[in-house]
Amino acid sequence: MSWRPTHAQVRAICVAAVLLGVAVLLRRPDAAVFGLPLAFLAAWGRFFRPRERPEVQTELDADVLFEGQGTTYRLRVPESVDPDIDLIVAALPRAPWFQYDPPRAAIAEPVANGEVRLEVGVRSKRWGLRSLERPTVTATSSVGAYRIQVTSAESQSVTTLPLREGFEAVDAVPRPAGLVGLHRSRRPGEGTELAGVRPFRTGDRLRRINWAVSARTRELHVTSTWSDRDTEVVIMVDTGGEIGISEGIDGRSSSLDTAVRAAAAIAEHYLRNGDRVRLIDTGSLFRGVRSGSGRGHLRRILDTLVHADRRGRQQDEEQLARRNRIRSDSLVLVLSPLLRQTMLGYVVTLVHSGCTVIAIDTLPPDVASIMDLDAHDQRSWPLAWRLRLLERRRDLDRLSDLGVPTVPWQGSGTLDEVLRDAARLSAAPRIRS
């Protein structure tokens, strides 16, 4: 694309030609007085028309963000820009779930000596993988006579990771079974928590000898500790649908928003404690993260969560059981609005297989509280939806009878009480008939 005259340049040429024509044909010097300045401006703009096409380079300060974080979209024109270029205007196409500064995502900068830099602030409001389209860049010559539209580089991809809400939970977990970790096992062994003092036995480490007690009793005694163990935490995210309205990090959250953000927060907490975490996405036959630990594993989980989509292919109960085999000593956290019979049936299957299952209700509070409204307020809701919520309440009561606690997600401390109960129940002696 070459430099083209602007509408102002075309108007100046046309009006100057008409006025000068009138001045010559009708012998009107007053018309020449008005036409000569316009003719001079048109000639000036033509004479100083740029010859070169400017090069535009774009970059993004950070292409991986957390929800609510912002970055800067930078557009740079190198120093080799044609000196006859007077102004450069850039407009960034507005995309959903992005907030711009300035709000219209458009900025103009005059060309002075040296390179030109244009900056637009971009803030991501919701998790996911999205792209910032190529900006529309227009360069204008002196007196606004000519302009050219420059095509910048390719679009920039932005990955927005789910917001980690600083989730914390008690350290008690049921049936810790690994070799290393931060949870106290029910068995004595190598660890950091004191279990008591006992007589020395063959195989005990010399550094465990308690010299104070040994000197008093005149027999070797050692300090015993509880062994530290980890556990496998399985996070199951139900992406079978999205209930409620999603307004980003600054507004209301849908059931899918709550599930994804809660999964990220829970994964970070348990990985920080040295446990092994596994992620299962029920909306995909292939998407998921195997059991692992460490900071790199957390990033794999977050990268998987940004692709969660309610339009994915949903698995039935048989497919879930066949493709996702879970150990009987695992702690399974099911993040779901608990509306699909498939998920409820699979939860029952996990309980019968011996897993410790905790259901985390992600249904938005404004939807779940409909049954607590008076009769007048309930009339605005469809009858079918009210009946479905009654059936859901019945299903949750059945899960409670099976020993599956159901707690709504409320951030830090959501699982404290149910984890203590589960750890106490697993530590209780079992009566064999």
> pLDDT, tens digit, for every residue of 356-415?
899 999 988 877 665 454 444 555 567 777 788 888 889 989 998 888 889 888 877 777
Three-class SS state of 335: strand
Per-residue pLDDT band at 184 (split at 50, 70, 90)? very low
pLDDT for res 283? 75
Averaged confidence pLDDT in the chain: 81
**Least confident stretch, 158-162, 239-243, 339-343, 425-429:** 425-429
Cα–Cα distance, 409 to 418 (Å, whole number): 12
Pairing of strands 331-336, 356-361: parallel
Position 80, amino acid: S
Q: Is 370 helix (H, G, I), strand (E, B) or coil?
A: helix
How far apart are the two ends of the chain, measured CA to CA in Å?
87
Angle at 257 between CA 253 and CA 261, to 5 degrees: 115
With vertex at residue 280, the alpha carbon angle to CA 179 and CA 422, rounded to the nearest 5 degrees, is 55
Beta-bridge mates of residue 141: 85
The pLDDT of residue 306 is above 70: yes
| Residue 238, C-beta contacts closer than 8 angstroms, at least 6 positions apart | 259, 282, 283, 334, 335, 336, 337, 340, 343, 362
Confidence (pLDDT) at 171: 56
- Predicted local confidence at residue 291, as pLDDT: 87
Give the per-residue pLDDT at 431. 46
What predicted TM-score, i.e. pTM, was given to this entire model?
A: 0.75
Q: For residue 91, what pLDDT is reported?
A: 87
Banded model confidence at residue 18, pLDDT cuts 50, 70, 90: very high
Token readout for 391 is 């059936």
Helix (H, G, I), strand (E, B) or coil at 427: helix
Average pLDDT over residues 268-292: 82
Higher pLDDT, 224 or 186: 224
User: What is the reported pLDDT for 71?
Assistant: 93
Rounded to 5°, angle at Cα 391 from 388 and 394: 155
Provide the 3-class DSSP secondary structure of residue 189.
Answer: strand
- Is residue 207 packed enough to be buried (19+ CB in 10 Å), middle (13-18) or exposed (0-12)? exposed
Whether residue 354 is predicted with pLDDT greater than 50 in this model: the reply is yes
Look at residue 430 in the predicted model and tell me its pLDDT: 47
Q: Lowest mean pLDDT: which of 155-159, 275-279, 382-386?
A: 382-386
User: Rounded to whole angstroms, what are the CA distances from 292 to 25, 27, 195?
Assistant: 90, 92, 29
| Lowest mean per-residue pLDDT among 21-35, 157-171, 185-199, 274-288 | 185-199
CA distances from 199 to 56, 213, 217, 235 (A): 78, 10, 10, 43
Query: What pLDDT, on the 0 to 100 scale, is given for residue 179?
Result: 45
Lowest mean pLDDT among 182-196, 203-217, 282-296: 182-196
- Does residue 98 register a pLDDT over 60? yes
- Mean local confidence (pLDDT), 233-245: 86
pLDDT of residue 312: 57
Q: What is the arithmetic mean of pLDDT over 225-253?
A: 80
Cβ 339 vs Cβ 396: under 8 Å: no
- Band (pLDDT 50/70/90 cuts) for residue 286 is low
Whether the pLDDT of residue 174 is over 60: the answer is no
pLDDT at 315: 65
Residue 183 reports pLDDT greater than 60: no
